[in-house]
Structures are given as C-alpha cells and as structure tokens.
Amino acid sequence: MAGFERATVATAVDRFSEEPTRLLTLFGPRQTGKTTIIRQALIRTSLPSRYLAVDEPEPTSSGISSSVSLTPSLPLNQLRNAEWLTRQWEDARRLTVQSGTRLVLVFDEIQKIPNWSEVVKGLWDADRANSLTMHVVLLSSAPLAIQSGLSESLAGRFESIPVTHWSFPEMAAAFNFTLDQYVYFGGYPGAAGLVADEDRWRSYIQQSLIEPHLERDLLATTRVDKPALLKKVFELGASYSGQILSYNKMLGQLQDAGNTTTLARYLDLLSTAGLLTGLQKHSGSAQRRRGSSPKLAVRNTALMTAASGYTFAEAKADRTYWGRLVESSVGAHLLNSASSGMSVSYWRDGGSEVDFVLSRGRAIRAVEVKSGVGLANDFSLGEFEQRYSAAASLVVGERGIPLNEFLSTSADEWSRER
C-alpha cells in the first residue's frame, strides 16, 4: 500500500492548478480512501494548505500550522458549529492574502456541522465578490447528507470528484490481490490486511463498515420511517445479489415491509450510499422501467460474502454461488466505473435474459457473464441486439473477454464500439 495513489489524486492536483471558480467536493462510500486521497494531493501540490477534520478533537494541518486553540473538554458538537466553520474560513482568508498565492482549505466530514451548506454558501459567495482566490474542498462519507446540502444551497457552485469502491487493478497493485481474492473479498482497502484471518475480516466488514454505514451515514442523516426495514432490505439485497427479485417476493420475505414504494425508496437510498443497487429492466418505456422487478447488485462483493456463511474456499467450490459472485463483481465494476451519462440495467423478456445493458444516449451494448456454469445465451444476445439495434454484445468469461481484462477497463470504454 505504501506509495500507492489512486487516479483521483492526480485529478485533485489538476483542479488545484486552476483558478478556484467552484467548490470541490469528494464524497463516496465509507472506507474508500477520501481522506488519504486529499492528503496525498495536498503533499503533491505546491500550494499552501490547511486540512481540518470536523470529527477530530483538535484540528490537524498540512502545509500551514493552525493558530486556533480549541477546548478539548467541550463536547465535539459544541466545538464544530457554524461559528467554528466561519472562524476557520476567515483564518484561511487572512493566510491567503498574506501568502499572496492560492491556498487550499479542506473540511473533512463537513456534513457533521449543523446548517453547513448555508454557511458555506455565504462564505463562498463573499469570496467570489471579493475576488479571493482560495480553493475550498469538502469531504464526506455520507453521500446523501452532502448531496442534499449541495443541491439545496450550493447549486452551480461546486464540482464533484466521486470516490468509488476500489477496482481490481487498484487492489492488485496496492495489496497483491489475485483475481479470485478480489471476487470474494471485494475492494475495501482497510480490510485487505485481514484476509488471512477470515473470521476477523468478516467481523471488520460487518461491524466497522456495514453497521456504521447504515447507522451513521443513512439513518442519522436521512428520514427513514422504518430503520429496521432498511437494514433488512440491505441484508436481503446483499444475499440475493446477481438475481432478479420482484417487490412482491421481497414483501413475502420481510416482516413489516410496508409497500413496494417503500422498498423502492430504500433501494434508492442504499444505491446513493454506494452499498446496493436495484437495477431497472431495460425498456423503451420509462413507465415499464420504473415498474419492473429490480435486479439486485452489491457495489462491493465484500458486502455479499461477509454474511454469506461461505469461506473463501467454500465459495470457490460451489460453482453456482461462485458464478453469482463473478456476476456481482462485474455488475459492481460497471456501476462503479460508469460515468454520470451512462446507465446500467438488465433485460428480460419471457425466457430471454441479458445480465447487463450499458446505455448512453442511443448507444446500447449488452454484457453477458459466464463463469463456467452453462454457456453464453447466444439466442438472448442475438434477440436483444436485433430488437434494440444494439452494438455487438460482450461475453465476459468463458468463450469471451477474460474476467481480469474486463474488470481492468471502465464501463465507458466497454460501451464504445470495438
């Protein structure tokens, strides 16, 4: 891991080389390396900087020493408020003027400050009015909380740098993961050192990642009328990843499930949080897409395997389960690497089915995953291509593109004509 940098580091450094016309935001799922990315970018840039962690008792810095003294005996929520945010911003303003160059000001876990977006809006607009050239970066592990603040108060004032789950090439380069290890253990860098002790690894995933993600990043920041149901929807979705499951079947497996509208909303929340997505059926009708049964897809296969009851060896020995894992790893890769202009869905009509469909405007491409269980459904692929005038389909695995090659290339690249 030492010395490894994600590509997002270079993106951040490039933004620092430009005039600061917009706020920069980095947000993504818990434990995907947002803080490490920005710290590495601050080291690489020649600009002075100040890094402030909202959830730490004392501010830390990079490049410039902080002159602010906080009282550790006070509760953290009394220290980190609008007044504190304004004071830190004003200090950075003075340092920017004194240094005669741009400064980078970073607030990590910004969503923990009450009414942060309104305060940031006022301060940022004042800087623009006074032609103050200071970069401001906002980090958050709660995508729903920060997106709400950005869309409501800071529309048109920010540029997002999304931080996704780690890809296979990244886990291989940083931790020497094999392809099979990546398929089973997924892409959490903080858990990579625990894979030799699978019980410890599972406990870490469940207690240090899944539970905090649900409790702190969703339930604490979003109105959820049935918290227990949200957790059950996640558990059900993770266990059925790679499968199409109707809302009625979900209702049959969940107690106090409410209605299909509630389930659909909770799947949307889990998707925005980067945990689990319910893929829509590809169709020319928007109404049919919204009413279709979702295909469940984890965004990181560790979320599927940690509670599965399978060890690494047992998962590999069960060809049917391993096939679902491989398909889930392909789905996660497509979802995590697709740009904002691309949609990922599935297709089924009668007995014909295609695992994934990539769409960008009128450009459509089908993706079929084969891991040794059965053969590629050439009839379904041919029928889909003819019906939707799709580009040539992609088969991943047996008789097609090697899985490691597919997982090393973004969804955007695969969607283009080859």
Assign 140 a pLDDT band (cuts: 50, 70, 90): confident
pLDDT of 358 reads: 95
What tokens were used for 265? 């909303």
Do the beta carbons of residue 171 and residue 177 sit within 8 Å? yes
Buried b (16+ CB within 10 A) or exposed e, 358-373: bbbeeebbbbbbbbee
Whole-number percent of the chain with pLDDT over 90: 64
Tokens 């603040």 belong to residue = 149
Are the CB atoms for 276 and 267 separated by under 8 Å? yes
Structure tokens at 310: 């399978």
**Residue 72, Cβ density class (10 Å: 0-12 exposed, 13-18 middle, ≥19 buried):** exposed
User: Worst-scoring range by mean pLDDT, 20-34, 217-231, 289-303?
Assistant: 217-231
Higher pLDDT, 219 or 356: 356
Question: If residue 302 lies in a helix (H) or strand (E), which one and from where to where?
Answer: helix 302-305
Q: Regarding predicted confidence, which is higher, 373 or 191?
A: 191
Element (H, E) at 258: none
The residues, any chain, with a CB within 8 Å of residue 208's CB and separated by 6 or more, are 31, 190
Q: What is the mean pLDDT of the chain?
A: 88
Mean predicted confidence (pLDDT) in 147-170: 90
- Which residue did the predictor score with more confidence, 290 or 171? 171
Helices (H), 2-81: 7-16, 34-44, 76-79
SS3 136: strand
Residue 381 has pLDDT above 50, yes or no: yes
pLDDT score recorded for residue 307: 93
Q: Which residues contact 347 (CB under 8 A, 6 or more apart)?
A: 281, 282, 353, 354, 357, 366, 384
What the block records as the tokens of 55 is: 């959830």
Comparing C-alpha atoms, which of 80, 118, 123 is closest to residue 105? 123
Q: What is the pLDDT of residue 1?
A: 63
d(C-alpha 401, C-alpha 412), whole Å = 16
Residue 351: predicted pLDDT = 85
Inform me whether the pLDDT recorded for 10 exceeds 70: yes
Strands 158-162 and 23-27, bridge-based pairing: parallel
- Mean per-residue pLDDT, 103-128: 94
**What distance lies between CA 414 and its chain's CA centroid?**
20
Tens-digit pLDDT profile for residues 163-186: 999 999 999 999 999 999 999 999
Contact 86, 119 (CB under 8 A): yes
Is residue 128 within 8 Å of residue 74, measured between CB atoms? no
- Per-residue pLDDT of 337-369, as tens digits, reads 999 889 999 999 988 899 999 998 888 999 999
Length, in residues, of the chain: 418
Span of 29-33, 179-183, 283-287, 396-400 with lowest mean pLDDT: 283-287
Give the strands of the sheet with 23-27, arranged side by side.
Answer: 49-53, 103-108, 134-140, 23-27, 158-162
The SS3 call for residue 362 is: coil
> Under a CB-based contact definition with an 8 Å cutoff, are residues 380 and 372 in contact?
no
Helix or strand (DSSP H, E) at 353: strand 352-360
pLDDT above 70 covers what percent of the chain?
89
Contact 111, 142 (CB under 8 A): yes
Q: What are 16-74's pLDDT values in tens digits?
A: 999 999 999 998 888 899 999 999 999 999 999 999 998 776 544 444 433 333 334 44
Q: Is the pLDDT of residue 93 over 80?
A: yes
Question: What residue spans of 100-259 are helical by DSSP H?
Answer: 116-129, 143-153, 168-175, 179-185, 198-203, 211-214, 227-239, 247-253
- Gap between the Cα atoms of 32 and 186, Å rounded: 12
Q: Which of 180, 192, 110 is nearest to 143 (CA)?
A: 110
Specify burial of residue 10 (Cβ count, 10 A radius: 0-12, 13-18, 19+).
middle
In the chain the domains, ranked by start, together with CATH numbers, are 7-162 (3.40.50.300), 168-415 (no CATH)
Q: Kindly tell me if the per-residue pLDDT of 7 is higher than 80.
A: yes
Q: What is the C-alpha separation between 301 and 332, in angstroms, rounded? A: 8
Beta strands in 11-90 (DSSP E): 23-27, 49-53
